[in-house]
Each structure stands twice: as C-alpha cells, then as structure tokens.
C-alpha cells in the first residue's frame, strides 16, 4: 500500500524478513546512506533483470515501510504480477540484490598504529575506566550496530533539564572494528583486575623488565585476549605487574630512558591498529616515557596519536591538570617533540551535585586548546562492571556510559 507524499517521495508499506531488515539497516549505516535510497536502487536493479531470481525464504516476514519516488512502487507491483512473483518476494529479492551489489566496506586501518596516552597526575579521576571503555568502543564489531550519542548533543550535560536518555539523542552506528591493545602501565594493576585478568607474577617477565632491558622472553607472550563476541579477537590486554612501582628507579640507569616504553612495545606495534596506555597518577620518569611514546612520528598526521587527559568536574582536577600540562610543555620544549593533545575527558560528571559540578564543567568546556572531547556520567553500570570484572560495553552495552564511550572513541578517531 502507499500513503500520502513526503516531499518528492511517497510512503510504501509491505513486509520483509526480519533478517533482511537487519542486514539492510546495518549495511546502509556502514555505507552512510538512507534505507529508502538503498531500497530504491535495489528495486531499480531488480526490475532491470532479464530473468527471475531463485526464490528467497520469506516465512515470518514482518511489516516494513520506506519512502520511494512517486510511481516506483506501482510500477514494481505491476512487474511482480507480470513475473508471477509475490510483492513480498519481489521486495526481498530487491533488497538482497542491493546487499550483494554493496558488500560491507573494509575497516579503515591507520597506516601507523595509533598510540593514545591516557593520563592525569591526580588519582581517582577514572583514567582506567576511560582507557578500557574507549578501547572497547574502538574494537566493537563493525558488522553490528551500536547506540552512539549524536555529536550535536555532546554538550547536553551542561543543562540539567536536558533529557540525555531521549532516543532523539542517539543513533545506531556500526562498530569501528579496530584491533586494540590496552596497556596497563599502572603498578596498582586496576585495568588488569577490572577486566578479570591476573597481574603478571613478580618473578617472571613484565613490561617493567622489558623497559629496563632485563627481560628474558617475548613481550607478546604476556598479552591476553579480552574474550567477548562483540570484540571478536580484536581487544587484547598487556597486564600490569606490581614491579612497576620500581620503574622510575630502574629507568634512572637506562640509556635513552624516555624511549624505554617505545623500545618495549615496538616489536608488537604492527599487530594492532590502536594502543592505549593507562598511565599511573605520576609525573615521574614513567610519565616521560609514556608521553614520548605518544609523540607524533614523522609519517603520522596530527591528532592520530597523543595525550588524552581525564579530569573531573571539581577544583582539584584543575590543579593536577596544570601540573600535567607543565610537564608536557617541558617535554615538548626540551626534547623538541610534536606531542599532540587528543583532548580532555570530563569523567564522573553528575549535574545533581550542583554548582561546583556544573560550573567546573563549564570551566573545562571554556578551554579550547585542548578541547573537551567527552563527558561521561557517574552512573552505577561502570561500578557494577568493575565488581563483576567485565568490560563495560559487554556488561551494559546500551547504558549511558557505554553510549558516551562510543561517542568519545569517534570524537578522537
């Protein structure tokens, strides 16, 4: 059936198997086109065929509607009747034909593995949660759709009366499908434990020993997969070891100590598209090594790698931020580094905390270089995921924090 016109198109209603509807929704999102234009192209291609296609199983077809150019649906109905094909069968074949002519695009992978250094001198701001959530969002299946906050609603948290859970604020987008390594660079081992893994034993090899030149084996042997179907085999973790408390002491006697992290991770870089480093709350030699690792390389475009600063909407974060940026500016100057800021993430935000929270957030938003690239709410799902030792995006994939992590991942991609 058809209904009144909308602009230069008319609404048509029919039926389509649920599987085809889902495939069509995902594929059009992957190609960045509207469903209506895909169906229009599929019907045009089907009508141009010289013979009928093999019948598709349309049992259990469900209601489906879209908008087509005026007259196309009536002409299509006529062709279906002439060919002895039901309308549902003809529409199903048309959609299947479009899917076959428009295969899923390949994931766009960076030429140089991106290195994201997640840091702040202040502890307790949630660096670990941001590292994990961003990595999970980067690794989600590109052949599935996931809810993402629309960028124009990014600053919604600035107003207490904004309905952040409104479906108008979200859209379903394909996962980014990248291969990701999470590096737990903090001797407290929070990232390792939150993802349900065990810290590396003190008596064995560790990232610290590789950086200090004391390792006996391959760093690759320490890496473990984070197993969940939404990540496939794309999300891995390099666990921490408590010997990292000694890292600054060990680095003090190492030649070219600022490059120690790069020397350690260099052999496994080519295995990944993105490497995220969860830094300790420190301004010591380990932070120098992490910042050096995140510098822009000669063959790399600006903004691909660099420092992602995690803060909270309160005054002590501002003090710590000042210390961190001073250290980064010193490194830039003393070592002539091209070290980019990827942005600021305001974490654990809750407007219900009143003036201190809202005014602090506004202060962060007023900083334009680097700018705020994410505002993540202080909600229960993250705490629950930590308690059960599961990735947030696997534990509660549609919660507001998960949606925000996906927006953050895209904002810095």
Name the band, by pLDDT with cuts 50, 70 and 90, for residue 149. confident
Give the single-character DSSP code of 208: H
- Over residues 346-364, the mean pLDDT reads 88
pTM for the structure as a whole: 0.89
Long-range contacts of 211-214 (CB under 8 A, 24+ apart): 211/247, 211/250, 211/251, 211/254, 211/260, 211/261, 211/263, 211/264, 211/289, 212/247, 212/250, 212/251, 212/254, 212/260, 213/254, 214/250
Question: What confidence score (pLDDT) does residue 157 get?
Answer: 47
- Rounded to whole angstroms, the Cα distance separating 397 from 230 reads 10
**Complete domains list, the chain, with CATH:** 2-101 (1.10.1220), 114-411 (3.40.50.300)
What pLDDT, on a 0 to 100 scale, did the predictor assign at position 4? Answer: 58
Higher pLDDT, 116 or 213: 116
Q: Find the Cα–Cα–Cα–Cα dihedral 110, 112, 118, 121, rounded to 10°.
A: -150
Give yes or no for residue 293 having a pLDDT over 90: yes
Provide the pLDDT confidence category of residue 321 given band limits of 50, 70 and 90.
confident
Lowest mean pLDDT among 30-34, 141-145, 161-165, 246-250: 161-165
- The pLDDT of residue 3: 55
- 160 pLDDT exceeds 60? no
- Residues 162-179, mean pLDDT to the nearest whole number: 75
Residue 237 tokens, joined: 């973790």
Q: Are 18 and 58 within 8 A, CB to CB? A: no
Please check whether residue 226 is in contact with residue 395, taking contact to mean a CB–CB distance below 8 angstroms: no
Q: Which residue in the block uniquely carries the two structure tokens 């993105």?
A: 274
Is residue 377 over pLDDT 70? yes
| pLDDT of 136 over the 50 cut | yes
The two tokens of residue 293 are 């690792």
Instruction: Return the pLDDT at 155.
Output: 47
pLDDT at residue 5, rounded to an integer:
53
Non-local (6+) Cβ contacts of 240 within 8 A are: 184, 185, 186, 187, 188, 189, 191, 192, 199, 200, 206, 207
Residue 153 has pLDDT above 70, yes or no: no
Torsion over CA: 77, 82, 86, 92 (sign):
negative
Band (pLDDT 50/70/90 cuts) for residue 47 is: very high
Averaged over 230-239, what is the pLDDT? 96
Rg (CA), the chain: 25
Mean pLDDT of 13-21: 97
Q: Supply the mean pLDDT for the chain.
A: 90
């Amino acid at each position: 059936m058809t209904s009144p016109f909308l602009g230069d198109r008319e609404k048509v209603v029919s039926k389509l198997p649920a599987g085809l509807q889902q495939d069509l929704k995902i594929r059009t999102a992957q190609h960045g086109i509207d469903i209506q234009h895909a169906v229009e192209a599929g019907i045009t291609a089907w009508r141009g065929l010289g013979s009928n296609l093999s019948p598709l199983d349309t049992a259990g077809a469900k209601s489906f509607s879209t908008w087509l150019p005026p007259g196309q649906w009536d002409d299509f109905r006529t062709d279906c009747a002439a060919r002895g094909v039901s309308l549902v069968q003809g529409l199903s074949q048309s959609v299947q034909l479009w899917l076959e002519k428009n295969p899923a695009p390949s994931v766009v992978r960076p030429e140089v593995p991106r290195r994201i250094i997640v840091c702040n001198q202040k502890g307790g701001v949630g660096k670990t949660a941001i590292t994990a959530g961003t990595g999970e969002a980067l690794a989600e299946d590109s052949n599935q759709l996931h809810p993402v906050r629309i960028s124009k609603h990014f600053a919604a948290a600035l107003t207490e009366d904004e309905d952040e859970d409104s479906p108008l604020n979200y859209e379903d987008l394909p996962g980014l499908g990248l291969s990701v390594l999470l590096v737990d660079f903090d001797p407290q081992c929070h990232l390792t434990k939150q993802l349900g893994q065990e810290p590396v034993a003190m008596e064995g090899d560790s990232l610290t020993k590789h950086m200090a030149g004391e390792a006996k084996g391959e760093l690759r042997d320490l890496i473990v997969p984070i197993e969940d179907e939404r990540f496939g085999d794309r999300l891995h973790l390099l666990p921490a070891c408590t010997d990292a408390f000694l890292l600054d002491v060990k680095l003090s006697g190492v030649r070219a100590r600022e490059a120690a992290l790069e020397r350690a991770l260099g052999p496994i870089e080519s295995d990944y598209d993105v490497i995220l480093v969860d830094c300790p709350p420190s301004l010591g030699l380990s932070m120098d090594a992490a910042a050096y690792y995140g510098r822009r390389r000669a063959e790399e475009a600006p903004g691909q790698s660099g420092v992602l600063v995690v803060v909270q909407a309160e005054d002590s974060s501002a003090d710590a931020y000042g210390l961190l940026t001073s250290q980064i500016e010193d490194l830039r100057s003393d070592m002539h580094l091209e070290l980019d800021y990827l942005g600021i993430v305001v974490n654990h935000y809750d407007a219900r905390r009143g003036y201190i929270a809202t005014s602090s957030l506004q202060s962060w938003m007023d900083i334009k270089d680097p700018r705020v690239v994410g505002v993540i709410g202080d909600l229960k799902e993250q705490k629950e995921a930590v308690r059960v030792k599961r990735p947030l995006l696997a534990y509660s994939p549609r919660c507001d924090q998960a949606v925000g992590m996906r927006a953050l991942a895209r904002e810095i991609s």
